[in-house]
Structure 1
Amino acid sequence: MENHKPYVILHIRDTEPFHCESQFDEKGEPVAYMCQFEAPPLNRLAPISTDFFTIDCKEKKDRFTCFITSKKRSFIHPLPPPIYQNSTISTEPAKVSKHWIIVGYESKEPPYLDKPQSFHDVLRFPINFQAYKIPTIGAVDINGEPVFVKKNRDIERFLVIKEAFELGKYRKTYELASDALESYPQSIFTSDFLRYKIKALVEEDLKEHTDEIVKLSKEFIRRFTSDENLPEVLLHLARVYTTLGFYNDADYYFKRLVDEHKNSKFADLGEIYWGDRYHLAGDDNRAVEHYLNAYYHAKDVDTASLAAYKIALRSFEHHKLDEAIAFLKKIWDKNRLFLLKNPDDAHKLARKLAAKKVYDFAIDINRALLDSMEQMDDRYETLLYEIAKWYEAKGDLQSAIAWYKKYLDAFAFGQYSDHIKQHLDALFVESNEANATEALRQYDRLIREYEGSAIADKALVAKISILLKQKRYDEILALVDQIQAIKDSEAKKRAETMFQEAVNTLFDDAAHEQVCKIGIVMVEKYGVNVAPKHESYLYDCYVKYARYEEALRLAQNHLSDKKVSDRLTWLCRTVAMLTALERYKEAYDALKDFKALAGKKQAKVCPNLPLNEVKIDYALGKYASVITTIHELSKVRNDDMRMADLYRLGYDAARKSGDQLQQIWMLKTLVALQNSKASHPYSPWAEFELIRLYKLKKAYEKALQVAEAMEKLELKGEERARWFYEKGVLYEWLGKKERAEKIFESCSDLKEGGAWQKLCKEALSL
């Protein structure tokens, strides 16, 4: 402001000198300016409009030009280089410069400038300051000593770090940020260096760098409590604790983020990731509550889109199809680029929608993907074919034909071209959807009016034929009773043939998609003859539904196969099913046969054989063998959660053998595995039993370590009371009576602590 009139200064800079010129109106007043640069900037410049200027930049061939249109009074002037760079001041303004300014103003005269005086008789000459130069030493400190500044200043380092992160070079970002923190520990950018170091680790691999992210984030929170980027760091820390399975810690930081920084966009993101934490814990109702909070309070469309997408995913998982589609369509209508930014994920979503028969939406996504990619893209052909196939599936045969033709025009010898050429011939016959629909209506009328007659039988056969061509297999299955009632033998034979074709197709589709329920129904209700290539699929389905008897029968049918490899595969499965059915003697005999036949190929043919072998040995009382095998397996399967069941068996085997050391080893290894996987099927039994054994050994310190580590189990009721009691007793035995007393007090305050709470109270009174 000058004299209550606003003005602005527009700076135009480049690393190389460039030319700017003015354009004048009929009054001689400058109204626009054009600046030409040798090369375009790295980032595209969008048009800008302010109260004083409109700026529009365009690239033509090898030059880059910016047009600045003035909305009010203005003038342009080049700034001369510093005196230390050019000691001569020219009499005329430079035609090229690295730095130009345009001043826009509303007053009659330029701000802070008097009207230049005009002289008719003048003598112009350049002024040279070279003779007046004196020696300089640069900046000095408080003692008058020269200050030496490193060439790479901290702001430059910060910009380099930021650019590396934006380019996705996360390892480079981490290294640059680490070096900057070391080189500039007192910089005003210290918090940014530390923040980018954390962000780089998160983006590179959050799961791999959990410990370091926690350490750095806590350092940031401690040092920069008022930093504007604190919400972002709180979000990273909460996400890491979620990944580690430390949900209480995650909840603390999510709550702090949402409560203390509710106006930050990271608070909205925090709500979304907080929802993910509850989803991982199996509480999808709480998860959706947080997603909805983010959705309704989001401050930008991308965050709202992410929240809506998460809600849609949870809705899909809980078979709430209408709700999922509603949220996805909101994203599609307002921010479809969010769904399309990852083409592979968008394609998977389209396929998922098509599988749910939401064909219109699936087609829209595939068409948008086609519009965004070149024909040379590997996905283009499949997308084109799927659009045609989905149009056909939704009954729009005319559109299906058009898209099939588009496919053949683009890929005359493509992956699907032969199939499409044959399919089009059949499709053209029934392409008039109205005729097919009308025909079905007429057939239904004939079946109804001439029930029990030859006319009705033939109408039923014709109806099945149309339904089969239209792939409406479920409707054909619903006609099974009517087919059985057909009196005409020839018509009945044709109907049964088409019915069986529908059943076989449904079974083949189920096997291809690995859908077990449909496959089993087709076999058991409609008598599908299972081809050898689908028997493994059927076996897996029986196992999935714990139909072990059926799975065993299927496996035993192959114990005489000619190919040794096939016989071994099914013999391995026989061992597994006999073990699952607890027919251990038979399982042991099958196990011996397998080992004799497989020789050294046991591990390759049947990798899970040792797991079943342990259960068999235990059931047959071979406890020493059980313990030995478990030790061997732990060396190669130490992170396999299935080992938890074996460690439990190993403990029982050691207990029955009277081997207390092996009992401790089994329990200790079981607890360690559960903690590493954040899954505790045998807790708190395993921990309490391990504490008991350590107490018998008088290893109170070790017992206390186990008890302290149980904090994360979130025990309740009597289990929590017992945990307090065990800790209190151990602290008392170790001479830490004050600590023990506090624990007993906490135990006494519990609700529903049962007998263990009474023991705590008794211990406290003593």
Structure 2
Amino acid sequence: MLKPLVLLWSLLGSLGWALTLDVQSGKEQGEQFATLHLREATPFVCKESIDTHDVITKVECFFDKAPTKTFQEVRNLFFVIQSYETPTQYVISIAPLKRIKLFPMTTHLSRTKEIVRYDAKTSQHWMVLGYNETMPLAQSRPVPRGGLSFPIRFARSELPYVGALGLDGVPLDMEQVEDVGDYLEIRNLYTKEQYEEVLQRIARAEEANAASIFQSEFLLYKIRTLYRLDDSSAVVDLAKEFLRLYSSDEAVPEVLLMISNSASSLGLVIDAEYFYDRLLTEHYDSPYATQGLIDLGAHALNRGDAEQATRHLKKALEKAEDKALASQAAMKLVQLFIARGNAQEAAYYMQKIADGNLEYLLADVPNSFELAQEMAKLEAPKEAATVMEPIFGAIDNLHDSYEGILYQMAVWFDEANANEKAYHYYKKYLELYAYGEHVADVDTRIDKVLFEMGDENVTKQLELYATIETKYAAEEIAQDALFNRAKLLLQERRYQEVLALKESLMGLTQEKFASKTALLLEAATAAINEALDAPKCQEALKLSATHEHNLTVPYDVKLYGCAMQESMYATAATIAQPYTAQKSLEERLAWSYRYVKAKAKTGDDKEVFVVGTDVVSMAKMAKKESYQDVLYDLFKSSVNLNEREKSIDYITQIESTFGLLFKDIELYTLMARSAKNNNDSAMIETYATKVVTLQRQHKSYTQSPAIEFLLLKALKENSKNDKAYALLKELVGYVNEGENGARAYYELGAMAQKMGDKSAARSAFESSVKANATSPWGKLSSDALKLF
């Protein structure tokens, strides 16, 4: 019989319209089960997904509209509830942890006269039942032979019933079920940084309901809170428990980060290294892995290992996809290089922050100013001024540091002999602070700057043109001033400023301004050349994409190199393609080679195959061996295009040209696997033998033991037992543990038997069992030993 239902927990959630989810747990005859009820005013569809063994792998319910509020993942002992959106529907997905069954609740016993079976496609009410092995709430009774079968009719009335019971047998009041309220309150307290209250609230919640569905969240918030309170010992203990109980939880990367840092702060070096390694290998794409690299860098810096700190921080900066994490890593590098006395490197990373996430520096302007002052102390005034310029440009004169930054920036530009910028900022200081703290000093310094700028003061001339443009904007003289200013800027090689006037210049329609296009072409070409000479690849590529230009071949070579460096391979191919038709064999060869390299990066295998073949032919004609590495691109393209004969040809050419190199071991492995797919045992033997030879020569077994087992199979098929026996003897020298070791020794024993060496066979079988007795190979070896 059905035992009374015991309600352990319930979650009722409104998702923004009439949809309601109700999750309950209970027991029948000592076996736990759980139910999920989904109700909505409009009928909706729920479907089961069943695998080839007739096991339900998933239940999904589909709704025409998405909720205004979503919920996080909910799980209990029997199922996990999640939700997601498609372009046309909102879907609730229920994945089983044990067994589940879907029922349409189309019949209400208090409202119908007979019980009927109805396989509904849609319903306003569905139930998902989670259970262990035997389905609860239902029994199958044999039909007595010879009996009558007729429907039982029920009166149309609703009988009174007692609601869900607690563990003590007393009816439960839903108000006592506070799981959701507990969780929300804990989260709110944590957000407000009321950490002591968080711990107290978690303790009360766990005491009130030991079987809460939010046990993982309670434990997670406890770890987070203790981490904020620097209770490292408690964090380590609780985090280990979390990782043991909830190994698939989405918070695992965060927990690994907290336990790594806590273990490190406690001096538990081995534990810290273990958890850092897990974080960086199992969750490398997580932002917590990036934070882990930053923290590793900080730890290395604290113990005086600047080289390792630099390596970790640069790696964090390279992989960071989040601006805040990238900025944090870059700032650590700024501080590291300042401490090492390298102001140029410090300025480089601080400028990267300014370019990509200026808000990060603006969040603490005094600190940024202090770092710039440290750079200046290291005799790098230009770097100090340059990194402060964007920060200064983003704050107003009401900021506490505005006057100090303005003055100091002008002084730094002055000390760096950047006279025009120094003049600009000195003048700005005098305009804003006629009675400022540094007025006397600025008056003296600005006179010196003007003197050093010479009699023919370009700055004053440019200021005059700008004044005319503004004052006489509606008159022709303003257009003359604009055009003359552009020409003077071009003369002074201030190409970027010329290009900034592009829109205004193109608005000049009179014949006397006809050279404006040539002026802009010259400025753009020169600006790109200048950026390429710097080199400033991103700037050069941006200018080339924005402005018409006329680069010479040497600068197109540089621009191509920049495009390849910045992974803009399509752009690089576009630069190279026009030159592939050059009349000169050497030029055509060089540019075709560059074109192939760019196309290889874009994955255009057909184009690589066609043009790369020409490169090989031209290289032979020109006797230029430096282009022979295009064979690697041709090989990869032939593999991708399933050109088997060509791939064999190119791998052969690679070996004959460059020799048997360890760096090519993956190519030979690829050929061996390709031969396996084509059941070509001779080809397997050829290339697998090369891989084994290379590994032996370099004592690096990157492809083991898979390549040896593949070669062994081929040798057996080719009846080369002596070679197979020798291979296995060598293999057990470095593959002798675990399941692979068990297999290697078993194969050795079997081959020894075939070769008639019973003593060696017995020894090998014993070693196989010792390596891994529970593996299939260990069991086979054990059985073989029984025959001796």
Q: TM-score, length-normalised on structure 2?
A: 0.40
Q: TM-score, length-normalised on structure 1?
A: 0.41
